[in-house]
Chain A
Amino acid sequence: MAHDNENEHVLRQIDENLKRVYQQNLEEDLPDRFKQLLDQLKKQEPGKEV
């Protein structure tokens, strides 16, 4: 059905845009504070085994 195809196309279009937005956010530089925080957490639990 032409209408179904069209509808499917629109939905695919939306998901493609969602992926672009997500991808853009993925590629942004991470703030240094996250790595600093991880380093800090590591220091607080020296040698802790899982």
Chain B
Amino acid sequence: MSTDPREELVEHLPSLRAFAMSLCRNSAQADDLVQDTIVKAWTNMDKFKVGTNLRAWLFTILRNTFYSARRRSGREVADVDGVFSANLATKPDHDGRLAMKDFEKAFATLPDEQREALLLVGASGFSYEEAADMCGCAVGTIKSRANRGRAKLSELLSIGEDDAMELTDQSTMAVMSAANMKSM
């Protein structure tokens, strides 16, 4: 087996792209971001400490690239409350599953930092400590971003209360597959 982490880059492309998709919210921009990340990772690979988490290192490059581009463009963080419109079908459909499209739409309205925190700790299985490290902020900051994101999502999707109990079973699969990601 090769010990050159450059050889392992290719294995991380799908997760890099998934992270980029949730930050950029459109695939053209996400692909550009992944491309920039690959070039930076390749040319800075001597700075990677072999034996540490390559995926976390790559995610860090990707998010730093994303935020420096955002700073350059002078784009402000979107005001979620103002943007979100009421065209969601907020109830779960017949089989009790939350409509994914609605969920994705609601997720896309969150501020970048909240989407990032939720993606890192909620979806891709990094610990709060790892996520804080990658984002260069305190653990409490990541927790608070993730919690604010979750609270906003549950508000936007009107889940909770009576609906909550109907949603359980369909989700077991997602939990099972998430367990695999944790080991990364």
Contacts and interface: CB of A to CB of B under 8 A. Distances in A.
Interface of A: 6-7, 9-28, 30-31, 33-35, 37-38, 41-42, 50
B154 interface: yes
Given A16-B174, A22-B22, A37 B122 contact: no
A35 B44 CA distance: 18
Contact of B42 (A21, A27, A31, A41): A41
B18 A13 contact: no
A24 B22 CA distance: 11
B15 A26 contact: yes
A37 to B, nearest CB: 6
Nearest to A6: B164
B98 interface: yes
Contacts of B175: 16, 19
Q: Interface size bucket, B side?
A: 35 or more
Contacts of A11: 150, 154
Contact of A7 (B13, B122, B160): B160
Given A14-B150, A18-B107, A50-B3, 13 more contacts: A6-B160, A9-B168, A13-B164, A18-B119, A21-B103, A21-B104, A21-B107, A23-B177, A30-B13, A34-B35, A37-B35, A38-B38, A42-B6
A43 to B, nearest CB: 12
B17 interface: yes
B15 A23 contact: no
Contacts of A25: 14, 17-18, 21-22
B80 interface: no
Given A30-B13, A50-B45, A10 B160 contact: yes
Name the residue in A11, A13, A24, A33 with the highest tally of chain B Cβ atoms < 10 Å from its Cβ.
A13
B81 interface: no
A23 B174 contact: yes
